[in-house]
């Protein structure tokens, strides 16, 4: 089976006093023969997702005993983590499945994939948690769970139509 998950984070007052981060994600089951494409977003925009978490609060990751700063990047990273945890908990991880995750943060995707270095220890803690979760899934399934996940960047406009609309 194939699934597509849109994960997004936001943080009004980014990095300042009173900042409050939130995340959301929406998950869809794709048709078995359906390939990931830009046209897919248009089709899914008119459909109800199989699951939708909207506006959940983001708790900053703790590093070395201290909570991280509440920022948009932290909200994006935690939203990715929350979506992966949900996918694990709901049986989407299976050796024959594909899980496509779309985000509008090039930075978070690039840092998570190791293309860019991560300087912020609180973000590194989130990425380590995701890799730990995927490692646990790999042991449970008997296949490499990381290879089941395909990450994609999409524009903020596509994200708004896909996640916020529901």
pLDDT above 60 (res 7): yes
What is the overall mean pLDDT for the chain? 90
Domain boundaries, the chain: 2-164
Write the DSSP assignment of 122-160 as a string of letters: HHHHHHHHHHHHHHHHHHHHTS-GGGGEEEEE--HHHHI
DSSP conformation class of 27: E
3-state secondary structure of 163: helix
- The pLDDT value recorded for residue 8 is 94
Side-chain-side CA neighbours of residue 126 (13 Å): 29
- The CATH number corresponding to 2-164 among 3.30.420.10, 3.20.20.70, 3.30.70.3270, 3.10.580.10 equals 3.30.420.10
Q: What is the pLDDT of residues 44-83, one digit of tens each?
A: 888 899 999 988 998 776 667 767 778 999 999 999 999 9
* Strand partners for 107: none
pLDDT over 70 percentage in the chain: 93
- The pLDDT value recorded for residue 78 is 94
3-state secondary structure of 2: strand
Please give the Cα distance from 71 to 99 (Å, whole number). Answer: 27
Confidence of residue 23 (pLDDT cuts 50, 70, 90): very high
| Lookup: tokens for 92 | 């989407």
Pairing of strands 98-103, 2-10: parallel
Confidence of residue 144 (pLDDT cuts 50, 70, 90): very high
pLDDT above 90 (res 20): no
Confidence of residue 129 (pLDDT cuts 50, 70, 90): very high
Confidence of residue 38 (pLDDT cuts 50, 70, 90): confident
Let me know how many helices (H) and strands (E) the chain has, helices first. 5, 7
| Stated pTM of the model | 0.92
């Amino acid at each position: 089976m194939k699934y597509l998950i849109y994960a997004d984070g936001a943080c009004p007052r980014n990095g300042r006093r009173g900042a409050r981060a939130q995340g959301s994600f929406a998950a869809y089951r794709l048709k078995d023969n359906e390939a990931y494409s830009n046209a897919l977003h248009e089709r899914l925009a008119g459909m109800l997702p199989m699951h939708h978490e909207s506006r959940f609060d983001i708790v900053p990751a703790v590093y070395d005993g201290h909570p991280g700063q509440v920022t948009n990047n932290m909200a994006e990273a935690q939203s990715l983590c929350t979506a992966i945890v949900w996918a694990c908990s709901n049986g989407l991880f299976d050796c024959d499945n594909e899980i496509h995750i779309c985000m509008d943060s090039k930075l978070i995707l690039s840092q998570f994939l190791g293309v860019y270095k991560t300087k912020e220890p609180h973000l590194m803690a989130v990425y380590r948690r995701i890799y730990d979760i995927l490692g646990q899934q790999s042991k449970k399934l008997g296949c490499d769970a990381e290879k089941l996940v395909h990450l994609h960047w999409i524009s903020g406009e596509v994200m708004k139509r896909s996640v916020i609309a529901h």
